[in-house]
Each structure stands twice: as C-alpha cells, then as structure tokens.
Amino acid sequence: MKHKFSAAACACMLAACSLTGCGAADESSDDGMNLEQYPYGSTLVEDTSRSMTISYDKRFLDDALVEKIYTYYHSLESKDGEAFGSVMFPLYHDYQLHTLYEDSMTDQDLAEGTHDNIKEYFGYDFDYAFIDVTNVVTKLGESSGRDSLELMLDQLAEEKKQKPVSDDTQHLYEMTITRYIDKKGSGTKTQTDDFMSDETLYAIQYQNEWYLMYS
C-alpha cells in the first residue's frame, strides 16, 4: 500500500518552522490543432538529467524554471538553507520570515525542519526520486489562490514604496506537485510507494528571472 504524506502536514511544518517552455506558436498536433489549445499534461516530458526525475508539460515550464524546482527540492533533501533561500522570491520571502515567522526562523531552520518532519513521518532519511508537476494554473480567474497572491505581491511592494510587482512579471504560475521519495542514497528516479501529494508551489518570472513561493 502506498503511504501518502499530506500537503497539509508539510505546509504545517513550513508554517510552524517553517520564455515559458511553450513550443513555437505554430506548433501543431497530428489533428492540425495548435498544441496551445490542449490542456496541461498533453505534452509531458520526464527530465532525468538530475538526481531526481522531474515530470512536467514542456509548454509551460522552461529549463530555467525546472532548475529552480530541482534546487528547491534538493535543498530540502540535503538540508541546505542557503540553496533554499536562493530560489525564493525575495519580496514574499522577506514577508514570511519577518511577519509570519516573526524573525524566529531562518532559511536553515526551514530547510532542516521540513526535512526532519518528512523523515520522521516515513521513518527513514530520504531523497526525492520523482517530482511530478501535475497541473499548472497560469491565468487570472482560474485560481483564487493565484489571484490573491498576485494582489498581495503588489500590496507588499506598495508598502515598501516600490513599483507594482505585476508591472515586471512575465508569468505567475500556481503548480500542483506530487513528490515521491526513497531511502537516501538509493539512486531511485522513478515513482515509488512513498509519496506526498498535492503540494501547491508558486512560480513567478519577475524581470525575466524565475523564483518560487510556497503558501
């Protein structure tokens, strides 16, 4: 039986301690329809070039974003707070550290706490084996979470007397991700019996650079 670690459990740990890749515009399928007309998941690829496989729809995620996603999960499995902080969107992450966590947590605390919580739940030290980006929301009006975050980022910028984040945002994605793990050092890069489903991770391409945010 597969063991599922809920998104709520991981989110609680983070809260407590815690370009696009689209093809050319004229790219079409065998039936003559433009591939952009098909829903997410219609052109899935599995990138096995890193220590974990990352599955995603190549029309939505480019190599730079996939690298950020890899760095995020690798930072958690290796408890690397510096790498964890490096992929976070600075404006939002500053709000999390100083307002939500009241300056009581560091990036190292968050990386270690999340790692240790997963390790305790499954009963073994782990590596991520397979990261499955199962859905991506890209547009205003498709997700209340994405819409609220977009508004919040502009409000945070206004409080700091900065220009609206939306002025320099090329993309803002809400991603749903299933994470499969195996024992540390196993080298597994396929789906496994132990998995954590339905994590929501946000990606923003701001001033042509990708960053991540977790809720």
Q: Mean pLDDT, to the nearest integer, of 116-143?
A: 97
Span 96-112, pLDDT tens digits: 999 999 999 999 999 99
Q: Quote the tokens at residue 105.
A: 């947590």
Span 180-193, pLDDT tens digits: 999 999 999 999 99
Q: In this prediction, what percent of the chain has a pLDDT beyond 90?
A: 79
For the whole model, what pTM was predicted?
0.85
For the chain, the structural domain boundaries read: 3-21+43-214
Given this model, what pLDDT does residue 159 score?
97
Asked if residue 211 lies in contact with residue 152, where contact means CB atoms within 8 angstroms, the answer is no
Distances (CA, A) of 56 to 48, 69, 103, 132: 12, 11, 35, 7
Non-local (6+) Cβ contacts of 51 within 8 A are: 74, 127, 128, 189
The maximal CA–CA distance of the chain, rounded, in angstroms, is: 56
- Cα 140 to Cα 156: distance, rounded to the nearest angstrom: 19
pLDDT band of residue 17 (cuts 50, 70, 90) is: very low
Helix (H) or strand (E) holding 166: none
